[in-house]
Amino acid sequence: MTAPVWISSLLGICLFVCVICCLALALLRDFYVRLHYLAPVTTIGFVPLLIAVVIREGAGQAAMKTILVFAALLLINAVLTHATARAARVRRLGHWTADPEEHIPGSSVPRS
């Protein structure tokens, strides 16, 4: 298999993930469900793009800068997603912590 086919396939995966996540962001209604669609773009979507750039350019300046962008986006997106979810909860409830009577799915720790 030649390199351009590999590159086209990797770009196809990247674009598929990006299109699906962007459409989900525009079409879905629930805020927290939509918030989850920010993550696949920087992880599943960006990794094929990164590999495609490395295959085409080799270990040069372009690959290093792409790796830098990937690392920045990976770190930034996690922080930003957490901050966004926290801000949405504070806006809705006025505080960040869980209420005593609030049911948290998957939590087995009894709260007083």
- Write out the residues near another protein by the rule CB under 8 A: 4, 7-8, 11, 14-15, 18-19, 21-23, 25-27, 31, 34-35, 37-38, 41-42, 45-46, 49, 53, 56-57, 61-62, 65-66, 68-69, 72-73, 76-77, 79-81, 83-84, 86-88, 90-91
Q: 29-64: string of b/e by CB count within 10 Å (b at 16+)?
A: eeeeeeeebeeebbebbbbbbbbbbbeeeeeeeebe
CB of 101 to another protein, least distance (A): 24
- Which residue number, 4 or 104, has a Cβ lying nearer to another protein? 4
Helix axes 3-27, 46-57, angle to 10 degrees: 160
- Which residue number, 79 or 109, has a Cβ lying nearer to another protein? 79
- Which residue number, 76 or 107, has a Cβ lying nearer to another protein? 76
- Which residue number, 93 or 104, has a Cβ lying nearer to another protein? 93
Is the CB of residue 86 less than 8 Å from the CB of residue 96? yes
Tokens encoding 15: 């674009």
